[in-house]
Amino acid sequence: MARTQATDYEERREAILDKAAALFAKSGFLGTSVSDIALACKTSKSLLYHYYPSKDDVLYAVMQSHIDSLLEDVSGLRELSGSAKERLRILLKMFMKHYIGAANRQKVLLNELGNLPEDRKAIIVAKQRDVVDAVQSLLLLIHPELSQSAKQARAKTMLLFGMINWTMTWYNPTGGLSAEELVDMIVEMIVAG
């Protein structure tokens, strides 16, 4: 007889991802065992396998959950009106909330992609490209001259992501600068060209 699904199944899966993301962010994917994840979750390895068949599945789910939240933000952008600059500001503020609120998942996404099996890696990379392309389309509206050089457009886009992707390594939310103020600074730098 098949095992029935607990009413809190999704909450438990999410809790496993939170603990695993923290471990992967601290010790790396290769430096974290399934036993480490089970211990952090205060559960058995066999119960962990009920939620995720392998450590690779956990890694993929950590990355997928984070990149999917960014894609949701991009999808919501289509419903926004206003200038490209204002839409970029709104989008980056949404991204920053994820980056700060899910710093471990962001770190895992940035550092552990090479540990995914190739088929899953391709899915994550494709989603990352969709996010980057959405931001680049806004930059092209702000700086139409970038449409003359695909290389420069992509470089400027990646420079923007370089600014925001690594904030979780140095940014202190309790410091003197809010995340919104930080995004405003980034947008002004990008708009100024």
Amino acid at 171: Y
123-171 tens-digit pLDDT: 999 999 999 999 999 999 999 999 999 999 999 999 999 988 888 778 8
Residue 161 confidence (pLDDT): 93
Handedness of CA 7, 10, 14, 17 (dihedral sign): positive
- Structural domain harbouring 185: 56-192
For residue 101, is it within any domain? yes
The verdict on residue 12 lying in a domain is no
pTM (predicted TM-score): 0.88
Q: pLDDT grade, residue 1 (50/70/90)?
A: very low
Q: 22: closest CA among 40, 46, 45, 47?
A: 40
Give a yes or no: residue 16 inside a domain. no
CATH of the domain at 149: 1.10.357.10
Instruction: Please state the domain count of the chain.
Output: 1
| Any domain includes 102 | yes
Q: Is position 25 within any domain?
A: no
Residue 6: predicted pLDDT: 67
Residue 105 token pair: 């998942």
Question: Could you tell me if residue 133 is inside a domain?
Answer: yes
- Note the pLDDT tens digit of each residue in 176-193: 888 889 889 988 888 886
Note the pLDDT of residue 3.
57
Give pLDDT tens digits for 47-103: 999 999 999 999 999 999 999 999 999 998 878 888 999 999 999 999 988 888 788
Three-state DSSP state, 41: coil
Q: How confident is the model at residue 22 (pLDDT cuts 50, 70, 90)?
A: very high
Residue among 32, 35, 60 nearest 45 (CA): 35
| 153 belongs to a structural domain | yes
Does a structural domain hold residue 11?
no
Structure-token match 């494709």, residue found: 126
